[in-house]
């Protein structure tokens, strides 16, 4: 893995370039997982840039990751959406895979929404289900492959940041409430995501190990982005689309997973995910982005989550119209 620590100027250059090329001043950033780039379609008044245009941005090399940064409005919030993320297995250093997160911080973003495709290790999570991240296990990080390795930049955050509570409890609660209102609780629950390095899918023995460790879903991304976001004081909301079951049973089973199948489940669940993410963002309390100083993210008490306003008619129509809850 190349060793390329970034200095503050490189993040600032990218942020300055973007601020000079769009009038949008985003409060919320969204990272789209494999096959989930359609989340950007919900943005209105879009300004879009190819990653190759933006100073310092790496290139997307994975199918299902378009490589575009899209700015726009979503239900009263200004958002910036990564249609395509960077993975460690593409050969990028972890500083590069997480480069956009610090750029978002410098743009004045307050909250990061991370999404991914993941394989399930728990029988109760089926392909097509949605898992709200309540925690993660950062396997590469446990072995020292951590984007925060190297000199610490105190302007972003402390040398030893806490990761307990890195998935905001208030937003998790809001998402589950919205799930209830949308009638999708049968396909939605909270769980623990584990990041492995990839790019191969898990061997049966690895799958058994992850299962024994209590991992609910496994993927090849997200944790480094969340570590960097938490380090610099961004509030985080994360969700996994379960795209396949990870085989933990028998060596005789001849089922296997492939990336095309992962992308196909994303297409099937596109509308549900768009609606869920839109409703969560619509309900977010974000700063008004008049400065890039850190927002005080005191957790919303759970009682504040209960009186959710019902989804608007538009949402209800979308949910009734879709037939994808059967996968």
Does 220 interact with ligand HPA (rule: CB under 6 A)?
Answer: yes
117 assigned binding-site residue: yes
Q: Which stretch binds ligand LQZ7MJT6 (CB under 6 A): 168-176, 214-222, 299-307, 315-323?
A: 214-222
Calculated CA dihedral for residues 301, 278, 325, 173, nearest 10 degrees: -10
Does 115 interact with ligand HPA (rule: CB under 6 A)?
Answer: no
Q: Please, which of residues 44-73 interact with ligand LQZ7MJT6 by CB under 6 A?
A: 62
For 76, 107, 178, 214, 311, the CA distances from 283, given in Å and listed in that order, are: 10, 21, 9, 31, 11
295 assigned binding-site residue: no
Provide long-range contacts, Cβ within 8 A and 24+ apart, for 149-156: 149/94, 150/5, 150/95, 151/5, 153/7, 153/8, 155/8, 156/8, 156/102, 156/105, 156/231, 156/232
Q: Which residues contact 65 (CB under 8 A, 6 or more apart)?
A: 32, 34, 37, 83, 84, 85
Containing H/E element for 131?
A: strand 130-138
Any idea what DSSP says for residue 243?
Answer: E
User: Using CB atoms, what's the residue nearest to ligand LQZ7MJT6?
Assistant: 33
Indicate which of ligand HPA, ligand LQZ7MJT6, none lies near residue 87 (CB less than 5 to 8 Å, by partner kind).
ligand LQZ7MJT6
Does 297 interact with ligand LQZ7MJT6 (rule: CB under 6 A)?
Answer: no
Give me the count of residues in the chain: 327
Q: Please, which of residues 184-203 interact with ligand LQZ7MJT6 by CB under 6 A?
A: 198
HSE-up (13 A, CA, CB side) for residue 198: 21
Question: Active-site residue 321, yes or no?
Answer: no
Indicate which of ligand LQZ7MJT6, ligand HPA, none lies near residue 33 (CB less than 5 to 8 Å, by partner kind).
ligand LQZ7MJT6
Does 240 interact with ligand HPA (rule: CB under 6 A)?
Answer: no
Cis ω for the linkage preceding 257 (within 30 of 0): no
Identify whether the C-beta of residue 110 lies closer than 8 Å to the C-beta of residue 21.
no
Indicate which of ligand LQZ7MJT6, ligand HPA, none lies near residue 202 (CB less than 5 to 8 Å, by partner kind).
ligand HPA
Does 87 interact with ligand LQZ7MJT6 (rule: CB under 6 A)?
Answer: yes
Alpha helices in 133-240 (DSSP H): 139-142, 169-182, 204-212, 223-231
Question: Active-site residue 188, yes or no?
Answer: no
User: Using CB atoms, what's the residue nearest to ligand HPA?
Assistant: 119
Active site residues: 34, 65, 87, 89-90, 117, 220-221, 244, 259
The contact set with ligand HPA (CB under 6 A) reads 117-119, 201-202, 218-220, 243-244, 246, 257, 262
Which residue numbers belong to the known binding site for a purine D-ribonucleoside?
Answer: 202, 244
The contact set with ligand LQZ7MJT6 (CB under 6 A) reads 33-34, 62, 85, 87, 116-117, 198, 219-221, 259, 262
């Amino acid at each position: 893995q190349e060793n390329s620590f970034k200095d503050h100027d490189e993040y600032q250059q990218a942020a300055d370039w973007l601020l000079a090329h769009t009038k949008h001043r985003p409060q919320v950033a969204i990272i789209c997982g494999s096959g989930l780039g359609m989340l950007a379609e919900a943005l209105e008044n879009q300004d879009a840039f190819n990653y190759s245009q933006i100073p310092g941005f790496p290139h997307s090399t994975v199918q299902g990751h378009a490589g575009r940064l899209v700015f726009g409005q979503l239900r009263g919030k200004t958002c910036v959406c990564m249609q395509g993320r960077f993975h460690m297995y593409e050969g990028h250093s972890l500083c590069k895979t997480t480069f956009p997160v610090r750029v978002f911080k410098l743009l004045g973003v307050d909250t990061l929404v991370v999404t991914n495709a993941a394989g399930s290790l728990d029988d109760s999570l089926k392909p097509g289900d949605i898992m709200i991240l309540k925690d993660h296990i950062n396997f590469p990080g446990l072995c020292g492959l951590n984007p925060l390795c190297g000199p610490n930049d105190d302007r972003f955050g402390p040398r030893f940041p806490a990761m307990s509570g890195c998935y905001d409890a208030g937003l998790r609660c809001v998402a589950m409430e919205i799930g209830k209102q949308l009638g999708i609780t049968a396909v939605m629950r909270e769980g623990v995501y584990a990041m492995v390095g990839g790019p191969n899918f898990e061997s049966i023995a690895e799958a058994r190990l992850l299962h024994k460790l209590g991992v609910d879903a496994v993927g090849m991304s997200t944790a480094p982005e969340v570590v960097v976001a938490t380090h610099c004081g961004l509030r985080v909301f994360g969700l996994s689309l379960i795209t396949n079951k990870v085989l933990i049973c028998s060596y005789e089973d001849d089922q296997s997973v492939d990336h095309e199948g992962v992308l196909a489940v994303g297409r099937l669940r596109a509308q549900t995910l768009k609606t869920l993410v839109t409703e969560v963002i619509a309900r977010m309390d974000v700063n008004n982005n008049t400065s890039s100083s850190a927002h005080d993210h005191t957790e919303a008490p759970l009682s504040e989550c209960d009186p959710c306003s019902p989804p608007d008619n538009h949402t209800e129509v979308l949910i009734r119209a879709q037939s994808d809850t059967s996968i």
